[in-house]
Amino acid sequence: MTRTPYEEFLAGERPDDILIFLSDETIGNPDALGNVAESLDDGVVLVLPGDRGRSTFADTTGIDPMDFAGVAMQTDGHIDRDCAGADCPSTDTGTHDLKFVFAFAEDQNEEVGGIYAEGDVVHAYAACSCGETYSDKWVVGEADR
């Protein structure tokens, strides 16, 4: 059975690609993405080659992906291992709905140590409807907590 690019990304088989999850509220018109996005329960996911993925993220969100990652990595949070759900770490009492996720995978690197020695690592950065941004990383295949 053939797997989708999304399934391949989650399995660590697309280390040169970028994953973008956009909630239904964020994208507005998911049909506009046609055959480049995979529909999920609460949004769509795109898996695109590196440069194209970064460009698409910037075009879709209006935010430079590396600037976004730099800010989001300052706050630890929990992003589901499928990159389509998350738990906002903000203590605000308002609404906390996931808006979007930007993720990429990094090949296993035993020389670096830590989780990088355990296997390929997914780096994910999320934005919440409350305005909080946060990040999470995990070894591919690690169970969701």
10-50 pLDDT, tens digit per residue, is: 999 999 999 999 998 888 666 666 677 888 888 999 999 99
Quick check: 137 and 126 in contact, CB under 8 A? no
Please tell me the predicted confidence (pLDDT) of residue 141: 86
Quick check: 14 and 5 in contact, CB under 8 A? yes
- Which stretches of the chain score pLDDT less than 70? 28-34, 145
Quick check: 40 and 84 in contact, CB under 8 A? yes
Beta strand 121-128 with 17-23 is unpaired
Structural domain boundaries, residue 24: 5-139
- 144 assigned to some structural domain: no
Residue 43 pairs with which residues in a beta bridge?
A: 23, 40
What are phi and psi for residue 85, nearest 5 degrees? -155, 160
Please tell me the predicted confidence (pLDDT) of residue 37: 87
Please tell me the predicted confidence (pLDDT) of residue 31: 65
- 13 assigned to some structural domain: yes
- 145 assigned to some structural domain: no
Please tell me the predicted confidence (pLDDT) of residue 100: 97
Residue 78 pairs with which residues in a beta bridge?
A: 87
pTM: 0.93
Q: Count up the domains in the chain and report the number.
A: 1
**Longest alpha-carbon distance in the chain:** 45
Please tell me the predicted confidence (pLDDT) of residue 36: 79
The answer to whether the Cα torsion of 40, 44, 45, 49 is positive or negative is: positive
